[in-house]
Amino acid sequence: MLSPRYLALNAAVVTLLVSLALGAPWEIPAVAAALTAVGISDLLQTRRALRRNYPIMAHFRFFFESIRPEIRQYFLEDDTVAEPFSRNQRSIVYQRAKLDTDKRPFGTQLDVYAPGYEWINHSIAPAPEQDHDFRITIGNHPDCPRAQPYSASVFNISAMSFGALSANAIKALNGGAKQGGFMHDTGEGSISPHHRENGGDLIWEIGSGYFGCRNDDGSFSEEKFAANAASPQVKMIELKMSQGAKPGHGGVLPAAKITPEIALTRGVAMGVDCVSPSRHSAFGTPIEMLEFIERLRNLSGGKPTGFKLAIGHPWEFFGIVKAMLATGIVPDFIVVDGGEGGTGAAPVEFTDHVGTPLQEALLLVHNTLVGANLRDKIKIGASGKIITAFDIARTLALGADWCNSARGFMFALGCIQSQSCHTDRCPTGVATQDKSRQRALVVPDKIQRVANFHENTMKALAQLIAAAGLTHPSQLRPRHLVRRISANQVKLASTLLPYLEPGELLDPSQLSRLPPVFGHYWPMAQAETFDPYCG
């Protein structure tokens, strides 16, 4: 027991004996006795080697390890390192949400000569700055009298379910969407009473669990879907095929976490695990998928209907596009979720190594629709670490029509990136079902912050595109975006990234000259199955 490893335990024992012998105030032997008991317990336990070798002292290591994220975030973090979001990225959201100044003095903190640095070229004759309420129309079918087109903002709230987020967070997000005139995606957890309370526009996301429109056996229910879809608050219907956080992976909400409120919202039973399967049961082929989308569109009364996916095997998405050509059924929109996305907790392997990042995924979807002569019929939304007006402009320039943000709007609610979303111990009440923690999130205040963040980001976007000589974000093209390749070389995105010409995929003679992803995988894709043709 004379080893330095036992220094803390020896000190506790000596202090206990000396304080008792000298009649010291009772607090001293009490603390020494408690530490001695801890040290003896450490020596006798068999689960942790560190405690057996370093009694008492090991607990200091465990304590500092437990607050490592806070130490890093508040004292050691670089302002510009985005892991997952940099301090500068979070700060710009906080500033715009709270109406603080969002200006920065003394020049950029970024290394403008580092590979990957990007900028938008400005015009020597900037355009007059326009009204910042930039909108696009989704679901405009002049040949369909039942169509209910929707005028959408180019910046909206991405999918986050009630259950993953707290009731107060959902209320604040939807109230902000109502005040600011933009969309709020429900996530696959369906439409809760908290989504309805403030009346903001909703995209209703239908996942593989068919929450809010399911029979007792988990299959799709037309009657329940039609009843929910008829709500005037529901503006669009989104079929979720996969998500950036964990594509190809199902999910389970354990029975212990299912409250009566969640059970009612999702249409599931109390006391039973709530399962989101990894694949849909309502269809099994690309053609059947499009027929299901058409079914949803008809049941909703013609509301814009589309699907969301993270890109995986290219031939699977190509098969969906071939099914569009074969059936004539065209979704109103496609939302591309980048592999870097994700508010929900996911296995580390999925978070880090499954799913195509947004740039490549967006390019694939945009180019495929262009090459199949379908791009003018389908709007594209995009999500994946979108925070600033530049993020929006960059994504629109690459091929999207609008952008969604999840974590950006979480920051607007007060999220501090503690990365405890999956523990039910969110320190700001955003991602928890703990009532005592939720009360910290004051809904009226956060409604205003959500609306402010959207408003000020749109104002920044208006200034950005005016500087480029444009009057609407839809005019952004790859030629407006510049990327540094090396210290001595830069390229326009239009020359750096591949872009197809209209109809190129429909001409077999052109396939050999297209980028390999199209030349190799397009012939393998089949409308009748998600499997590749390898004949």
Return the percentage of the chain with pLDDT > 90, whole number: 63
Q: Which amino acid is at 473?
A: P
> How high is the mean pLDDT of the chain?
90
CA distance 337 to 395: 12
| C-beta contacts of 424-430 below 8 A and 24+ residues apart | 424/257, 426/166, 429/166, 429/168, 429/169, 430/165, 430/166, 430/169
pLDDT at position 327? 96
What is the rounded average pLDDT of the residues 79-98?
82
106 has a pLDDT exceeding 90? no
Tell me the C-alpha distance between 253 and 348, whole Å: 18
How many whole angstroms from its chain centre is CA 223?
30
Local confidence band at 295 (pLDDT 50, 70, 90 cut-offs): very high
Residue 171's pLDDT band (cuts 50, 70, 90): very high
Query: Where does 129-184 have alpha helices with state H?
Result: 167-180
Give the pLDDT confidence score for residue 365 in this predicted structure.
Answer: 98
pLDDT single digits (tens) 333-350: 999 999 876 666 667 777
Confidence of residue 478 (pLDDT cuts 50, 70, 90): very high
| 205 DSSP β-pair partners | 238
Question: Is residue 282 a contact partner of residue 220, using CB atoms and an 8 Å limit?
Answer: yes
**What pLDDT is attached to residue 121?**
93
Mean pLDDT within 471-498 = 95
* Residue 162: DSSP 8-state: B
Give tens-digit pLDDT for 321-331. Answer: 999 999 999 99
What does the pLDDT read at residue 506?
95
pLDDT confidence of 276, banded at 50, 70, 90? confident
Per-residue pLDDT tens over the stretch 505-534: 999 988 989 999 999 999 999 999 999 988
- pLDDT tier at 124, thresholds 50, 70, 90: very high
For residue 367, pLDDT over 90 is answered with yes
Name the strand (E) or helix (H) holding 452: helix 443-467
pLDDT of residue 141: 67
Residue 270 pLDDT greater than 90, yes or no: no
Concatenating the DSSP letter of every residue in 345-363 gives ---HHHHHHSS--HHHHHH
Say whether pLDDT at 184 is over 90: yes
CA 24 from centroid of its chain's CA atoms: 59
Q: What pLDDT, on the 0 to 100 scale, is given for residue 329?
A: 94
Convert the pLDDT of each residue in 190-230 to its tens digit.
999 999 999 999 999 999 999 999 998 899 999 999 999 99
Confidence of residue 277 (pLDDT cuts 50, 70, 90): confident
The total number of residues written for the chain in this structure: 535
Residues of the chain with CATH 3.20.20.70: 135-181+281-522
Model pLDDT for residues 378-408, shown as the tens digit of each residue: 999 999 899 999 999 999 999 999 999 999 9
State the pLDDT at residue 143.
64
Q: What percent of the chain has pLDDT over 70?
A: 94
The average pLDDT across 63-85 equals: 71
- Residue 156, SS3? strand
CATH superfamily of the 135-181+281-522 domain:
Aldolase class I (3.20.20.70)
The phi, psi pair for 308, rounded to 5°, reads -115, 140
